[in-house]
Amino acid sequence: MIDFELPQEIKDFQKMVHDFADQTFRPISRKYDELEHVYPKELDMLKGMTSLDRKKKNKDGKQVESKPTSDKIGSNMKGVISAEEISWADPSFLLSIPNAGMGNVALATIATDEQYEQYGDKWLAMALTEPGSGSDSGAIRATAELDGDEWVLNGEKIFVSCADRCDAIIVWASVDRSAGKAGMKSFIVDRDAPGMKLEKLEKKMGLRGSDTGTFVMTDCRIPKGNILGSAEVVQSTEGFKGAMKSFDSSRPMVAAQGVGVTRAAVELTKEVMEENGIKPDYKRHVNNVSSMEKEFYMMEAQLEAIRLLSWKAAWMADNKRYNTIEASMAKGKAGRQATLITSKCCELLGPLGLSTKLLAEKWFRDSKVMDIFEGTGQIQHLIVARGVLGLSSKKLK
Ligand SMILES: Cc1cc2nc3c(=O)[nH]c(=O)nc-3n(C[C@H](O)[C@H](O)[C@H](O)COP(=O)(O)OP(=O)(O)OC[C@H]3O[C@@H](n4cnc5c(N)ncnc54)[C@H](O)[C@@H]3O)c2cc1C
């Protein structure tokens, strides 16, 4: 029998995160939206909880768990459940949790033990996108050349989340542009490495509590050991694909971010509808349902669908099942529905939907990016179509 009920232990965890987010994060959501780029210092409270435990030693002094893995039963599920609750309070805060940047996911997936030892408790951003290369990540132009004991990096990286707050950045660059994707490697670059400059912070429509910036690397020098994975260029895209695997864990989380903001908007709309005497009555015959109620039921159904998709993708990751298609299904549908539903909620709320008295207008602005970053909705459709049809990226573009 299929059972979608969460185990009690996970329900307790969900309630704990929800209560914390409700009491601590929701009340400061508007403030940091207005302040834009200012780090919500209240998030420091999450520091200990999210920094990954890599210092456990056994009685012989040997490290027991040097690297967190996403294959522990429950860690991906716990991730999506807390992502929903935090995003319910404020989706930009999910991108602002200390030491839990996109670069941290990549580090946990591909770093050596030594690299993990050095960078595991730092805050890591991820810089892949460039002017002219976002969806087509194989087209990046940033380069890395070995010069003695150092890599020398040159190029520009745009729309980097946590650009100002991070300690270091996982930068994607090519060691051999003629080799295409096989030449693409990732490097750990300290924020203050010589030649690394934070050029500007982006002024955004939504997710304004999260800092997004541009880095320019001009003969930026980093130690030879800061390459993630092997420096060898083999004529295969396996290395690139391996690194892309971090999306299988991060996309369900971004989907859950969409679930959280959608739920916030749906709950608020229900509250206001009820204050105005429109109470959903699920027993009423379909012929006697008002148009507002119909809209509301459809939103609730989509909300449930995106939550189940994000859970399924995360559950598969926890259970070491191949989940690339499901992660993209969850991210693609959740990103789309978050934008549609938060917009519909603003409509149903009337003038209140546009007023800064409520957070509905903010959630509408925040949700837009969820259909863009971590791969746009169109790119998720492409990944799903390739997976379902069994076609390679060369055959289906
Ligand atoms: C707030 C924010 C935070 C971000 N954070 C990060 C970050 O931390 N690190 C990082 O590296 N990047 C980050 N990004 C960048 C983001 O991942 C890219 O913007 C995104 O991948 C799209 O790439 P692009 O901007 O080059 O758009 P393009 O690839 O140029 O896409 C433009 C349009 O064309 C469509 N399109 C492109 N190719 C196809 C195709 N083959 N089939 C159908 N349609 C297609 C796209 O779906 C889109 O609608 C962030 C962006 C934002 C807005």
Q: Which of 93, 102, 123, 159 to mutate to test the pocket of ligand 1 (most atoms within 8 A of CB)?
A: 159
CATH 1.20.140.10 residue window(s) in the chain: 243-389
Sign, CA torsion 160/165/170/173:
positive
CA of 395 relative to ligand 1 center, distance in Å: 21
Judge if the beta carbon of residue 105 lies within 6 A of ligand 1: no
Sign of CA dihedral 270, 273, 275, 280: negative
d(CA 169, CA 211): 14
Please tell me if the CB atom of residue 276 comes closer than 6 angstroms to any atom of ligand 1: no
Q: Where are the alpha helices (DSSP H) in 229-290?
A: 238-244, 246-275
The tens digit of pLDDT for each residue in 115-140 reads: 999 999 999 999 999 999 989 888 89
CATH superfamily of 124-235: Butyryl-CoA Dehydrogenase, subunit A, domain 2 (2.40.110.10)
- Per-residue pLDDT at 89 exceeds 60: yes
Q: What is the distance in A from the centroid of ligand 1 to the CA of 149?
A: 34
CA of 382 to the centre of ligand 1 (A): 14
As a whole number of angstroms, the distance between CA 184 and CA 241 comes to: 10
| pTM reported for the whole predicted model | 0.91
Whole-number Å distance between alpha carbons of 176 and 379: 26
Confidence at 181, pLDDT banded by 50, 70, 90: confident
Q: Can you give the three-state secondary structure of 192-211, one letter per residue?
A: CCCCEEEEEECCCCCCCCCC
Q: CA-to-CA distance for 318 and 354, rounded, in angstroms?
A: 40
Q: Is 207 in the pocket of ligand 1 (CB under 6 A)?
A: yes
Cβ of 161 closer than 6 Å to ligand 1, yes or no, is yes
pLDDT of 247 > 50? The answer is yes
pLDDT for residue 238 is more than 90: no
Q: Report the pLDDT value the prediction gives residue 7, as an integer from 0 to 100.
A: 87
Domain 8-119 annotated CATH 2.40.50.140: no
Give the lowest-confidence range in 178-187, 216-225, 229-238.
229-238
Q: Is any atom of ligand 1 closer than 6 Å to the C-beta of 373?
A: yes
Token pair for 319: 């259970």
- For 213-228, what is the mean pLDDT? 97
Model confidence over 149-160: pLDDT tens digits? 999 999 999 999
Res. 66 pLDDT band, cuts 50 70 90 = very low
Where do you find CATH 2.40.110.10 in the chain?
124-235
Superfamily of domain 243-389 in CATH is: Butyryl-CoA Dehydrogenase, subunit A, domain 3 (1.20.140.10)
Residue 239: the pLDDT is 58
Closest C-alpha residue for ligand 1 atom 29: 135
| pLDDT tens-place string over residues 259-284 | 999 999 999 999 999 999 999 888 98
- For ligand 1, the distance from its centroid to the CA atom of residue 373, given in whole angstroms, is 6
